[in-house]
Structure 1
Amino acid sequence: MTEQDKAGLEAEGDIAADFLEELLDILDMDGDIDISVEAGRAKVAVVSEGPNQDLKRLVGPDGEVLDALQDLARLAVQSDTGQLSRLMLDVADFRAGRRERLAEQAREAIAEAKESGQKVALPPMNAFERKVVHDVVLEAGLSSESEGEDPQRHVVVLPAQS
């Protein structure tokens, strides 16, 4: 990644952070905003020093509110830059925790596929969740594919080829 690309992604993070700071002010919620660049995309995290029960309201059940906030932050970036954004937003470490739970679920499916020699289908997931599972499966030396249409789109872990 060039310095220019990194600077552009950092600028995306700054725009999203400004948007989120205004939102937190309107909601009268406390939170610190961390900006980073990871895997070729801007990452913005809203974190709290103390108990983050307030912030968890910004996550919602199964992350639906977080997904909507991420879309709004991406729109704020697009409105400012004229470019589509692949920015990732995390609130109260929800995505970090979800990533670990998904990795464990993927490892269980990998073990089952290796033992049974059969395809193993996982439950429906959003694009972020499917990407996490695909990465874990690839790292384990197997392959996977997404099947179905949203909202029922899911990952299928394929057994090793003989």
Structure 2
Amino acid sequence: MSDVLDRDATDQPRRDNPTVEQLEEEGEIAADYIEEFLDICDLDGDLEIDVRNGRAYISVTSDEQDDLSVLAKPEVVGALQELVRLVVQNNNGSFSRLILDIGGSRDARQAELAQLVDAAVARIEEGAADAALPPMSSYERKLVHDLVSERGFTSESQGEGRDRHTVITRS
């Protein structure tokens, strides 16, 4: 395999098919970092590590959801997720695709995305040729593609970088 295929977009080595053990190790490294972060912020949180779909998933919950409300904002979760990915990469030398969820933020965002898709599908059913959604991360675009497919429509990502977005059309 060529060297180009063995690197991610930031030119960091990646593992195309990490083992469950490697993903669990990523989760442990990430959890240690998040625990320290929560301690510094003087916040309580319970961490759960899960491995599915070739990714490590870290969930942070609290009995006092207000404690996590600031951290659960999508921009903050995204930024913290990137920091955690860098920590993992620094520890094991390869790019991480781990997903971080704080206080149910991922479920809340998925519900928002479902509403966006429903509104876009409604525009198409009313006669629009297509419907473009706002720019979003690759993970969110993947969720949108899945939602669109479930509704019997077609979608594709368009644009580059921060402007990359999803366009929905009839099948």
TM band (smaller chain): 0.7 to 0.9
Aligned length: 154
Q: Which residue pairs with 1:138 in the alignment? A: 149
Identity of aligned residues (%): 47
TM value normalised by structure 1: 0.86
SS in 1 for 2:94: coil
The Cα of 1:111 is off from its aligned counterpart by: 3.8
Match of 1:12 among 2, 6, 26: 26
The Cα of 1:115 is off from its aligned counterpart by: 4.4
- C-alpha separation in 1, matches of 2:53 and 2:122: 27
Match of 2:38 among 18, 24, 49: 24
TM value normalised by structure 2: 0.82
Q: Which residue pairs with 1:158 in the alignment? A: 169
Q: Which residue pairs with 2:115 in the alignment? A: 104
SS in 2 for 1:95: helix
SS in 1 for 2:31: helix
SS in 2 for 1:59: coil
- C-alpha separation in 1, matches of 2:72 and 2:104: 10
Deviations 1:18-70 (A, max 9, x none): 000011111111000011012210000110012x222121134xx11111110
Q: Which residue pairs with 1:71 in the alignment? A: 82
The Cα of 1:89 is off from its aligned counterpart by: 0.3
- C-alpha separation in 2, matches of 1:85 and 1:17: 14
RMSD, aligned α-carbons: 1.7
Q: Which residue pairs with 1:127 in the alignment? A: 138
What letter corresponds to residue 136 of structure 2 in structure 1? Answer: M
The Cα of 1:139 is off from its aligned counterpart by: 2.5
- C-alpha separation in 2, matches of 1:156 and 1:105: 12
